[in-house]
Structures are given as C-alpha cells and as structure tokens.
Amino acid sequence: MTDNLRAWLAVLDRFERALDAADGELDDDAFDAPAGPVPEELRERAEAVLARQKLMIDGLAVSRANVARELAALRRVPTVSTDAPAYLDVQG
C-alpha cells in the first residue's frame, strides 16, 4: 500500500467518523490534505463522503434558518418590567 493511499484512507476514515457522529465537528487539528490527488480506487468513497458532507451542510443551513426565525419571534415578545403587575383584575 502506498503512502498516498494510506494517507487518503486515514482522511476518509476521519471524515466518515465525524459524519457518523452527526456532530459535524472534526478534531481541533487543522485539516492537511495528503500530497497528491485522491487515488482512483478511493474516488467513489471520497465522492460519497463529499455528498454526505453537502447534505449535512444543507441540513445545518435549514436548522440555522429555523433558529433565526424563532429568535426573531422571541425578540418581538415585549419584556415585562418587574414593577408592573403581572395580571390585571377586570372583574371589579
């Protein structure tokens, strides 16, 4: 097994573990691509990892938009002063 193949296998394993964990986070280490192109025998696997990453990114974008809408709605709720009464008695 060539060093390039071994290096790319390690990178793909790392990406797949991150995707499987569904947390989208890689180690704090900076990503360093192995030297040289992806070996042909790993191209299909690398393309599958890329497709999964794109799906995760799209899902995160949707989630982010939903959270932004919820936050905007919460910001429109008026705040209650602690000096103001919490209830109004209308049955006099």
46 in a domain, yes or no?
yes
Residues in contact with 5: Cβ distance below 8 Å, sequence separation at least 6, in sequence order? 39, 41, 42
85 in a domain, yes or no?
no
Question: What confidence score (pLDDT) does residue 41 get?
Answer: 95
pLDDT tens for 56-75 read 889 889 989 988 988 888 78
48 in a domain, yes or no?
yes
Given CA atoms 49, 55, 56, 61 in this order, what sign does their dihedral have?
Answer: positive
User: Is the predicted pLDDT of residue 85 greater than 70, yes or no?
Assistant: no
**39 within 8 A of 1, measured Cβ to Cβ:** no
86 in a domain, yes or no?
no
**19 within 8 A of 52, measured Cβ to Cβ:** yes
Split into its structural domains, the chain has a count of 1
Task: State the residue range of the domain holding 52.
Answer: 3-76
90 in a domain, yes or no?
no
pTM: 0.55
